[in-house]
Amino acid sequence: MPFGAKNLDMYNKVNNSSKMNKTKSFQNILMNLQSYWIEQGCVLLQPYDSEVGAGTFHPGTVLRVLGPDPIWKAAYIQPCRRPTDGRYGENPNRLQHYYQFQVIIQPSPDDIQELYLDSLNAIGLNTKDHDIRFVEDDWESPTLGASGLGWEIWCDGMEISQFTYFQQVGGIEVNPVASEITYGLERLAMFIQKVENVYDLDWDGIEKTKGGKNYGDIFLQQEQEFSTYNFEKSNSSILLEHFNNAEKECISLLKDKDNPLCLPAYDHCIKASHVFNLLDARGVISVSERQSYILRVRNMARSCCLAWIEKSNNE
């Protein structure tokens, strides 16, 4: 498969026998987004290899925007787990596992909105053909102690991306301010492919009779099984233990003030956060307990951020 956007056009001309324009398949939308942001000078990272609730959790965002190095540009796809959003594969729009494409650029460029709009053009969504709107949506992650101001971006009334100017992470001021763009890949692809059910999304642009796969072929069983697991089968006492262990480990890895292990510690913070989400989906966390769990994760995140800053200042 060719990787450059230009080559891709040629590739599609040759392969016009497929059931649809290949540039509109899920995997090509992703590839074109990656190519576009590489061209803007981003480091192309891969997903973080642990369960996260949002692309923001990737250390490539949370930790990198802190510390003395003022310049950081990265892009990556990140599978996200939202256990409570599971619908046993029966809801056309909601998934407990979905993909975000994340772009983080520090300092925020003056033309970041234009860069974003161009990225839509690069994936076959001609912004001049549609009604694109920047609608106020301030963002806050209580578990990360992070917040920012920005918009959700509407295309003909559908939210296709989230745009945030990071003001704080781990309760620490982000300076210079970074801009974060998060594309909901399924939403975006549904819009581009004009599909109303996520499971009908064309993944590869290959005809079904020739072995082509759609989103449902790949993920339906996963959604069904994980919904059952998240809501009915997960073992709460094991999960609780996981949470406590992850917290313990996180704290202990930061103990050595001369050489705190920031990244392994943060890895455990992420794990704790996911376990909390699982417990929440299982319905075993009461309203008053909820707050204290969130606070515990936030404290872990903050300690990791502080250690990261301290360590990178000393380098």
Partner 1 sequence: MSKIDAQKGDLLVEFFSEEIPARLQVGSGEQLENLFVKKLVSRELSFDSCKTYTGPRHLAIIIRDIDLVQKDQLVEKRGPRLGSDEKAINGFLKSNNISLSDTIVKKTNNGDFYFYSQNIFGKNTAKILPDIINEIIFDFLWSKSQRWAYSDLKWARPLRNILILLNDEPVEGEIRIGKNTFLNFTNFSFGHRHHNQKIIVKSINQYEDLLKNNNVIIDRETRKNKILSDIDLLLNNKQLNLKQDNSLLDEITGLVEFPNVMLGTIDNEFMSLPPEVLSTAMKVHQKYFTIFDNKKKLAPKFIFVSNALTEKNRNIRITEGNQRVLRARLSDASFFWKVDTSNSLDYFNKKLKKVLFYDGLGSIFDKTIRLAKISDFFASFFNLDPSLAKEAALLSKADLASEMVGEFPELQGIMGGYYSKINGTISDISIAISEHYKPKGLSDELPKSNLGAVKFRSNVISD
Residue ranges binding partner 1 (CB under 8 A):
91-93, 107-110, 113-114, 117, 128-136, 138, 148-149, 151, 155-158, 165, 167, 175-177, 179, 191, 194, 196, 286-288
* Cβ at position 253, least distance to partner 1 in Å: 32
Helix (H) or strand (E) holding 173: strand 172-184
Identify which of residues 136 and 315 has a Cβ nearer to partner 1 in the complex. Answer: 136
Identify which of residues 160 and 253 has a Cβ nearer to partner 1 in the complex. Answer: 160
Structure tokens, 280: 């929440």
Identify which of residues 163 and 308 has a Cβ nearer to partner 1 in the complex. Answer: 163
* Cβ at position 129, least distance to partner 1 in Å: 6
* Cβ at position 206, least distance to partner 1 in Å: 25
* Cβ at position 307, least distance to partner 1 in Å: 24
List Cβ neighbours of 114 (8 Å cut-off, separation of 6 or more). Answer: none
Could you tell me how far CA 126 lies from the centroid of its own chain? 24
Distances (CA, A) of 265 to 54, 173, 177: 18, 21, 25
Structure tokens, 139: 């963002």
User: Phi/psi at 200 (nearest 5 deg)?
Assistant: -90, -5
Helix (H) or strand (E) holding 192: helix 185-193
* Cβ at position 259, least distance to partner 1 in Å: 32
Cβ contact 296:272 at 8 Å: yes
